Structure 1
């Protein structure tokens, strides 16, 4: 390899193929065999370090996943470690390309056979492109993970223990953007996750649910007999639970700061906290955290995941709705979602979740729950690995939450457990609940029975 018979084209051709392939598989080996041993030893050392790091990381994910993720997701040390990893991966990628270029010099193409030299040159360039692209993608993914963690998850919120064995999270969906001051939560549900098993129950709360009670707090003090909906018409406050953001923020001179003075510091808002208190009063459970899903970024997440598979049961129109009551959908629809199983892109999935003018709010709630489960099903290791940067960037624009970053590793473990079990859904809609006169004690008892079913008493043996 180091002192070949340069007069033999056959020898030089075989040597060239070996050096290019071996140099790509084990960066630095070509230089040790045929070039600068110092550069080769440096390349081999970097390669061995990268392999050891990858093996340790793989073993850690298999044998000590919770501990490893808790370190990587830690609020202070996590971003530092991810930055170091990003720089190291990018640096190794540059070294890999430099070694590839040097290997192409070492093969001495002019000494190889004419047909083969073009193949050797093309293979070298392709392998360098693969090396550089792989390193760039890996470094970008590490950076995207670091940025997303810092952008999405709060660092000031304090971790709380599970309540009666469950972590309950308020899940809100709405359109932001222009007119955000009048934004209402069009999708309201509570995700209850068993702290031991990961078993998940999703309870959907109708956005127009009236006369609901609050858990103890400032909103209960304002509305001791429940939220009756006697508000300011100019604020659009007319009684449903989705009006709470207006009641708690937009219709108040202090924008709700007097009601919930610590909300902003904890990564929340008075409107969200008021909705938490309402959901607690309705369901009879403690809800420490929320996740807000911005529908303007929802389409980007679906596209980042490669779409979602949905079975559509009835034809649904796309569009902003009729210009006047009774206007046929055929006149205002900008498109249609046809029945049948289909793979929806982000725009179609967004209309599927929004559409309500030809169906009821109850139907729309069911479709939103269907989409939630379809998106969770798309979060497979393969999908996340191949589309990680797109998913992470979409998440930054899509999600707001007060979940503390320090608890993220714990919720990752719970999420993996949850994927192995069916999701229980409860919709507080007819015939289960009378939307005009909800029986809230019965609702709270139903939730308690679902989350804590009675264990059958074994019959005594004879």
Structure 2
């Protein structure tokens, strides 16, 4: 009798009078349904339903194998496919359909098992195993479907739909802006202005910090240069009272000038007149082309840090946290706590205060901390972190990040990101430490500094140098 339990005939037409036979058969059918959905029906039940399950399962496995092979052969091609909105939608539908199919097959398998014919003590275990396995299988398919949906929503919400552009002088340059958006994008001041330059071949990253208080900035070709041919020397409108600092361009263009007329194409590319004016200024300051911007809402910045699981930062000096206010006597009020010096694993709230705190230090120290935090975030974006926290990261990103980077560039940028992980991020601070006075900058010197950093001179071998 035991040998008969291992053949298909006994699975389809078992000896229903033997609890031992029916119990062992039940275990086999439940496990087969999990390992190869549709096999239980093919061997012991409705063969047409079984064929549907088997074909669907084999098709899904074949697709997984193709994706794995594609990932091994061409990572960028895989990302390009998975970054397509329609592909993600199809994947989401297929995964949900497969989850439903697995549930249907499990219910039918329990019908085929005929629990009343199995040993009484095994009935609960057989049913519990079937339920546990369907939760694992269908739950995984549902989760994968949710991940596909989150990716689709994030791509459509965060990224632009315009064409990609070739690198400029060997680099992709991105204007990175940080500010609180609570007051409206046309009225806020940019708290953080930097340019991220990514080498198009090596993936090496250089972050150039532009002081938010930098004055008299020049502009690249465009409406702001026509208005201020000698640099941003004055005010757009005396009634506005705005200074000529670079971080106030967003407010000036939004309130004092007819920004929509100056930058009529801004909305079409997912930008704003204030961002475009700041981009023109950053290009003028650095002497490079900046085709894309990334705006980060600092008010929700903590959510992204938390989604990453926090960041590791080495704090140079003790810093206060809280809604601080400097009193007339120089003392501080509103202190909520302190960030102690030394190695720290920061959650989102702590990291936000670390990036903002300036009352016990200077704006330039704050710029260094912001650049340190940016580098730490880039370092935290490991494949393992992204895979395990994808939904939280995509949700946080879609809520706080806005950019005109086209989705079509995602595959290329993903490849550069992998290369960048192998190198340290270099920084340039346009402050006194580099001989730059933000109140009276020497822009020719800044252009030379940036160019020398991005394109270091290749050492020329001396005659007779044998390389020793």
TM, length-normalised to structure 2: 0.92
Conserved in 2, the CA contact under 8 Å of 1:231 and 1:238? no
Q: Secondary structure at the match of 1:317?
A: strand
User: 1:284-304 deviations in whole A, cap 9, x for unaligned?
Assistant: 111111110111232221222
2:411 corresponds to: 409
Separation (CA, whole Å) in 2 of partners of 1:394 and 1:23: 38
Change (3 A) 1:429 1:8: same
Q: Which runs of 5+ in 1 are unaligned?
A: none
Conserved in 1, the CA contact under 8 Å of 2:187 and 2:254? no
Is 61-70 or 125-134 further displaced after alignment?
A: 61-70
1:302 corresponds to: 305
1:419 corresponds to: 421
Conserved in 1, the CA contact under 8 Å of 2:36 and 2:57? yes
Q: Secondary structure at the match of 1:258?
A: helix
2:15 corresponds to: 5
Separation (CA, whole Å) in 1 of partners of 2:121 and 2:183: 63
Change (3 A) 1:280 1:49: same
2:198 corresponds to: 193
2:38 corresponds to: 28
1:122 corresponds to: 128
Q: How does 1:212-231 map to 2 (within 5 A)?
A: 212-230=217-235
Conserved in 2, the CA contact under 8 Å of 1:172 and 1:292? yes
State the Cα distance separating 1:323 from its structure 2 match: 6.0
Separation (CA, whole Å) in 2 of partners of 1:388 and 1:72: 14
Q: How does 1:133-212 map to 2 (within 5 A)?
A: 133-155=139-161, 157-212=162-217
Separation (CA, whole Å) in 1 of partners of 2:184 and 2:271: 19
**1:363 has 2:365 as partner:** yes
Separation (CA, whole Å) in 2 of partners of 1:341 and 1:119: 50
Aligned length: 454
Conserved in 2, the CA contact under 8 Å of 1:213 and 1:278? yes
1:337 corresponds to: 339
Separation (CA, whole Å) in 2 of partners of 1:405 and 1:355: 34
Conserved in 1, the CA contact under 8 Å of 2:235 and 2:241? no
Conserved in 2, the CA contact under 8 Å of 1:235 and 1:246? no
The Cα RMSD (Å) is 1.9
State the Cα distance separating 1:334 from its structure 2 match: 2.2
Conserved in 1, the CA contact under 8 Å of 2:174 and 2:290? yes
**1:84 has 2:86 as partner:** no
Separation (CA, whole Å) in 1 of partners of 2:106 and 2:238: 70
Conserved in 2, the CA contact under 8 Å of 1:229 and 1:237? no
Separation (CA, whole Å) in 1 of partners of 2:151 and 2:244: 41
User: 1:419-443 deviations in whole A, cap 9, x for unaligned?
Assistant: 1211111111222122333222111
State the Cα distance separating 1:391 from its structure 2 match: 1.4
User: 1:80-119 deviations in whole A, cap 9, x for unaligned?
Assistant: 2221111111100110111112222222222333333222
Separation (CA, whole Å) in 2 of partners of 1:114 and 1:326: 82
Aligned pair partner of 1:318 in 321, 328, 332:
321
Aligned pair partner of 1:240 in 245, 265, 283:
245
Conserved in 2, the CA contact under 8 Å of 1:297 and 1:397? yes
State the Cα distance separating 1:193 from its structure 2 match: 0.9
1:67 corresponds to: 77
State the Cα distance separating 1:233 from its structure 2 match: 6.7
Change (3 A) 1:323 1:435: closer
Q: How does 1:33-72 map to 2 (within 5 A)?
A: 33-72=43-82
Separation (CA, whole Å) in 2 of partners of 1:268 and 1:32: 57
Separation (CA, whole Å) in 2 of partners of 1:175 and 1:106: 61
Q: Which runs of 5+ in 2 are unaligned?
A: 1-10
**1:378 has 2:380 as partner:** yes
User: 1:52-73 deviations in whole A, cap 9, x for unaligned?
Assistant: 0111111112212323333443
Conserved in 1, the CA contact under 8 Å of 2:312 and 2:376? yes
The structure 1 segments of at least 4 consecutive aligned residues displaced by more than 6 Å after TM superposition are: none
Conserved in 1, the CA contact under 8 Å of 2:326 and 2:359? no
Separation (CA, whole Å) in 2 of partners of 1:24 and 1:326: 72
Separation (CA, whole Å) in 2 of partners of 1:235 and 1:115: 83
Q: Secondary structure at the match of 2:338?
A: strand
Separation (CA, whole Å) in 1 of partners of 2:370 and 2:239: 30
Change (3 A) 1:243 1:10: same
**1:328 has 2:331 as partner:** yes
Conserved in 1, the CA contact under 8 Å of 2:98 and 2:138? no
